[in-house]
Amino acid sequence: MVVEVKNLSKSFGNHIVLDNISLKISEGENFVIFGRSGTGKSVLLKCIVRLLLPDSGEIFIDGQNILNLSEKELNKIRKYIGFVFQSSALYDSMTVKENLEFPLIRNFEFTAEERENKIRSVLEKVDLAGAINKMPAELSGGMKKRIGLARSIITEPKLILYDEPTTGLDPITTKEISHLIVELQKDLNVTAIVVTHDLVCAHIVANHAIVLKDGKIRYEGALGKLTSTDDEFLNDFFDNEYFEDKNGRK
Amino acid sequence: MFESKRYYQLEEKLNEFFIMLGGISAFSIAFFKNVFLPPYEFGEVKKHMDELGVKTLPIVSVTGFIIGLVLAMQSQPVMARFGAESFLPSMVALSVVRELGPVITALIFAGRVSSGIGAELGSMRVTEQIDAMEVSAINPFKFLVVTRVLACVFILPMLTVYVDFIAILGGYAAVALILNMNFQLYVNSLLPSLLFSDVLPGIAKTFFFGFIVGIVGSYKGYMADNGTVGVGKASTSSVVISSLMILVMDMVLVKITLIFWSL
Ligand SMILES: Nc1ncnc2c1ncn2[C@@H]1O[C@H](COP(=O)(O)OP(=O)(O)OP(=O)(O)O)[C@@H](O)[C@H]1O
Ligand SMILES: [Mg+2]
């Protein structure tokens, strides 16, 4: 799926969060969004899927302006969108299995056996096959995160929005999840928008990156070029040994 | 200075109140728009009915019995004063079936259920579970709100019929103690006085009460914000609002049935 955002603005009260943002994400791209805490990265993701209504601007998914669609038409598109919430947002009255089944039962016509297989394979991908009958309250934060991710990819979406998919995970799981994102892109040509602070994750997945600051896009381009600018904020933001090292070697 | 500050507070409160009334009306309209659209989540409705029944049965049983008992105990000396003691069973049955059973059950139901729904949906709202549903192309209003409101609408009349019986039994307990009347006689003396026009409106109005409890609880929860503070507020204010609305609705419905049945 292709996503295009034109002149998007969003404020809460008189607090301007997004100020005239425009961006274009092409099919099969892994698009990474950086920015300090509270700059509106989650708000931007939510606007893109119309969970929040922007104050002005347009959002096109595969050429359709989703702000003008009826609920029914929008849902046709949303069936092919996955959203990984920063807070996991697992349905806490349902088991892991029921969480994963929930969209499958309602939006697609799979047999019980096909659903079983999908659930098993997606749980293996996030390395949590043993958690199938657990309640969300019994899972650790990182486990919830991975189940949330599993729930978003089980419907095989064409566009996935990841809100900090690796925050709170250990370094090994972080790498596994990042490779999973790349794998989905390679195998299924999924378009991914990844909000992250995690440079390891960004290095593995990013084809293209932007940095948000004060409601505007402060930088846009390849990840590797981020520190080669003489922008003070960017140098401060990415002042990370891992990053410099990598750059130096390159 | 004091005066003007108070005036603004009052105005703000009034504004909030009317915004809420508007919101609840919009919510009710959305309910009717969604309730007939497939997919029908019968499983969810049944699950909620089970939960609500189990949650409220013990307390309405105790309350119903005590209401019947106390009503008979309190009325007996009064009726004896007017030489109408033999009408005591009928008096208890009529008061319970026409008014006390439905209203008391509904108020207790509001206390237990409305707050529960408010808290449940409120926490789903602030932890983004409702957003998660919406973004996966599932209508959260239908899945969460419509099913809960339907469960309330169906379960409250059943509870009311049950409470009516229990309260009449409670009345018998008092009558047996005071008048030494056997159960057969008690039932025989109250049955002929109970008309269709006593029973039907009493049960019918509980459909409305159930609707109020479900809609108000859902509205408060669905609209919750401000994290856990919002959840707490959603659950307490939904009890206050739904109880008040039940009483106002009762007044209106009693008036309507009186007009209707005196034609
Ligand atoms: N529903 C809301 N009502 C009012 N203000 C909001 C709301 N949602 C977000 N904001 C404000 O918008 C700003 C951006 O929030 P957002 O959650 O997008 O930040 P973020 O970039 O995702 O930060 P983080 O990295 O910490 O997740 C914040 O200042 C926040 O206070
Ligand atoms: Mg965020």
ipTM for the predicted complex comes to: 0.90
Give, using CA atoms, the residue closest to atom 14 of ligand 1. A40
Tokens of A99: 């969480």
Residue of B nearest to A82 (CA): B136
Q: How far apart, in whole angstroms, are the C-alpha atoms of residue A131 and residue A134?
A: 5
Q: How far apart, in whole angstroms, are the C-alpha atoms of residue A57 and residue A88?
A: 28
Please, how many CA atoms are within 13 Å of residue B134, restricted to the half-sphere of its CB? 15
B144 and B199: one domain?
Answer: yes
| N-to-C CA span, chain A | 32
Q: Which residue matches tokens 């419509």?
A: B146
Tokens of B70: 């106390």
For residue A161, give the DSSP letter. E
- Inter-chain CB proximity B134 and A106 less than 8 Å: no
B2 and B79: one domain?
Answer: no
pLDDT at A199 over 90: no
Residue of B nearest to A79 (CA): B137
Q: How far apart, in whole angstroms, are the C-alpha atoms of residue A136 and residue B143?
A: 20
Domain tally, chain B: 2
Domain extent for B249:
42-262
Q: What is the mean pLDDT of chain A?
A: 90
- Read off the pLDDT band of A250 (50, 70, 90): very low
Mean pLDDT for A149-159 is 94
For residue A60, give the DSSP letter. E
| Per-residue pLDDT reduced to its tens digit, B24-75 | 999 999 999 999 988 888 999 999 999 999 999 999 999 999 999 999 999 9
pLDDT of the residue at B219: 93
pLDDT at B2 over 90: no
Residue-range domain boundaries for chain A: 3-80+159-246, 90-156
- Inter-chain CB proximity A46 and B131 less than 8 Å: yes
Touching check for B39 and chain A: CB below 8 Å?
Answer: yes
pTM: 0.88
pLDDT of the residue at B96: 94
| Per-residue pLDDT reduced to its tens digit, B162-218 | 999 999 999 999 988 888 888 888 888 888 888 888 889 999 999 999 999 999 999
- Inter-chain CB proximity B132 and A89 less than 8 Å: yes
Tokens of B29: 């309209």
Q: How far apart, in whole angstroms, are the C-alpha atoms of residue B37 and residue B249?
A: 28
B161 and B233: one domain?
Answer: yes
B220 and B144: one domain?
Answer: yes
Between the CA of A39 and the centroid of ligand 1 the distance, in Å, is 7
Q: Is domain A3-80+159-246 in CATH 3.30.70.1560, yes or no?
A: no
Between the CA of A51 and the centroid of ligand 1 the distance, in Å, is 13
Q: Which amino acid is at B158?
A: M
Q: How far apart, in whole angstroms, are the C-alpha atoms of residue A40 and residue A45?
A: 9
Tokens of B7: 């005036």
Q: How far apart, in whole angstroms, are the C-alpha atoms of residue A213 and residue A17?
A: 10
Please, how many CA atoms are within 13 Å of residue A122, restricted to the half-sphere of its CB? 25
Q: How far apart, in whole angstroms, are the C-alpha atoms of residue A221 and residue A232?
A: 17
